[in-house]
A and B are shown apart, each in its own frame.
Chain A
Amino acid sequence: MDELYWNRAIETMPRSDLAILQLSRLNRTLERAARSRSYRGRLPESVRSLEHIRDIPFTTKQDLRDAFPDGFLSVPQDEIVRLHSSSGTTGQATVVYHTRNDIENWAELCARSMYMTGVRKTDVFQNMMGYGLFTGGLGLHYGSEKLGSLTIPASSGNSKRQIRLMKNFDTTVIHITPSYALHLYTILEGEGIDPKKHLHLRIAFLGAEPYSEETRRKIENLYGMDAFNSYGLSEMNGPGVAFECTEKEGMHLWEDSYILEVIDPETGELLDDGYEGELVLTTLHREGMPIIRYRTGDIATVYFGPCPCGRTHRRISRIKGRSDDMLIVKGVNIYPMQIEKVLMDIPEIGHNYLIEIDNVDYLDTIRIKVEVVQEIFHGDIRELEGLKRRVVEELKNEILIRPQVVLVEPNSLPGSEGKAVRVVDRRTRIG
């Protein structure tokens, strides 16, 4: 640890050295993985160069589901100290098992990531992410403790208590969802607290929901702090896979711990840096449950060239969407996340919406239903029509299609708790 880097040797390692490290770790990973039921007989014993990784078949979400609960377990179960599991809302749940070393390495990546954004042991970290099976809470909790910051496991919700904790313990760093950050600000305002004057916040990790640059800047301005974007998925531990440095230009993906590939989601063909495609990741460090060439489903672009911060690990863009929920409407590719991102920027709407896609007389239509909840209703038609126009215009700028916006009564859409269904595609497939 020095002033700039948590681990200078690893973070600034020349790419040629990084490749050597990756190859040796990949071969160790292949050996470990071959001990699991699901990988047995499916993997080469070793590869001679990193390029040969492309001869190994992909591992998919479905493979993980089929192996429920422990087909990918590579060590005896008594070596396992923790498991995390997906909610299983969209199918069979998936489970990830961690050994003590896995937890330690994950904490190391989270500490490194947090340190990169400027968190130091003198900081007070209030973690407002949900704890439990969801990896967001515990991941950064362990990272922060590893780094040496005072860690407050506040978990999500209970705004009054969050505010009290921030005041009582001079919280400097928070981990929060963007929508909750905006909501919390209204509560602070109501209590006459100006975070810029009365609180000591300086860094925020925004996660668990898609959000735009505009939302980031808005939150930064409201609170007077730096907000950072990050990327993680439970199959690859959770948070700490990729994180922004203080340049805020893309997220460094920790290539000493993961092999990063980008593929065309349709053909599986490997893409060069700079081309948008699906991220494919291989764990290089994991003992309990190594995963080789995992198709994340996340669509992003790898940036060209080095970062001014001096780190050599490549950067990925924001996640544009998920390959498995891409919609083709009027011949245009649209990810629901793009729509969500726009709607999140319109405070009157928040999570109150449903996207419906229909086919009327052979023409695709996209319709956004928005609930006119009590908070936004002032009995004014002009206001409601203005809101409709604004949603149409801002969406058109993002997805290039003019949607129809329909205002509906409160509580007529699926609830905003958890992973509600927000896209309904009613088109009948032809052919």
Chain B
Amino acid sequence: MASQVTVFVENKPGRISKIARKLGDESINIRAITISDMGEYGLINIITNDPDKTAAVLSESGFSVSRKQVIAIVMEDRPGGLADISEYLHRNAINISNAYGFILEQGDKAVLILEVDDYARAEKLIRKGGFHTLTRDELHNL
């Protein structure tokens, strides 16, 4: 199980740099970051090596923070890799509300992060489908 930290930010200069600096100062390593931009505000989703500490640090800095369980799937970094997974989820009627990814250092594998509506069912299905999901520890030690 992976944990994503979501931060509410106003759309004004310097918000991302402020967040990144706070995490950097606390030796937290950012694995992936995406922004859902709603115009006047946005939600920043962050995957780090230490989600508990990330949430605590940002909360102490005065941000509104939310935690969410997300699915982190390891996949081959090759054309069609994402298609395989999303087709499988589609066949099983799992709705993806957000998806993003990052490539692992070795370069041959990528991690796909999925926000889904029904986490428990999705997690089970994905495992049954033979995909490799990352645990919290695995994410930490990447």
Contact = CB atoms under 8 A, between A and B. Distances in A.
A379 to B, nearest CB: 3
Contacts of A385: 38
A409 B68 contact: no
A377 B36 contact: no
Interface residues of A, number: 18
Contacts of A384: 8, 38, 41
B10 A409 contact: yes
B92 interface: no
Interface stretch (B58-66, B71-79, B127-135): B58-66
Chain B interface SS verdict (over half): strand
A221 interface: no
A379 B43 CA distance: 7
Contacts of A380: 66
Contacts of B8: 372, 377, 384, 407, 409
Given A379-B6, A409-B10, A374 B64 contact: yes
Nearest to B59: A374
Nearest to A378: B66
Contacts of B41: 372, 384, 407-408
B17 to A, nearest CB: 15
Contacts, number: 44
A409 B65 CA distance: 11
A133 to B, nearest CB: 33
Contacts of B68: 379
B21 to A, nearest CB: 16
A381 interface: yes
B13 to A, nearest CB: 14
Contacts of B62: 409-411
A410 B6 contact: no
A4 B50 CA distance: 67
Interface in A398-424: 406-412
Nearest to A376: B64
Of listed B43, B67, B68, residue having the most chain A CB within 10 A: B43
13 contacts: A372-B64, A376-B64, A379-B68, A381-B36, A381-B38, A381-B43, A384-B38, A385-B38, A406-B40, A409-B8, A409-B10, A409-B63, A410-B63
**9 tightest CB-CB pairs across the interface, nearest first?**
A379-B66, A379-B6, A377-B64, A374-B64, A372-B8, A407-B41, A409-B10, A372-B64, A378-B66
Given A372-B64, A379-B43, A408-B10, 15 more contacts: A374-B59, A376-B64, A377-B64, A377-B65, A377-B66, A379-B66, A381-B38, A381-B43, A384-B41, A385-B38, A407-B41, A408-B41, A409-B9, A409-B62, A409-B63
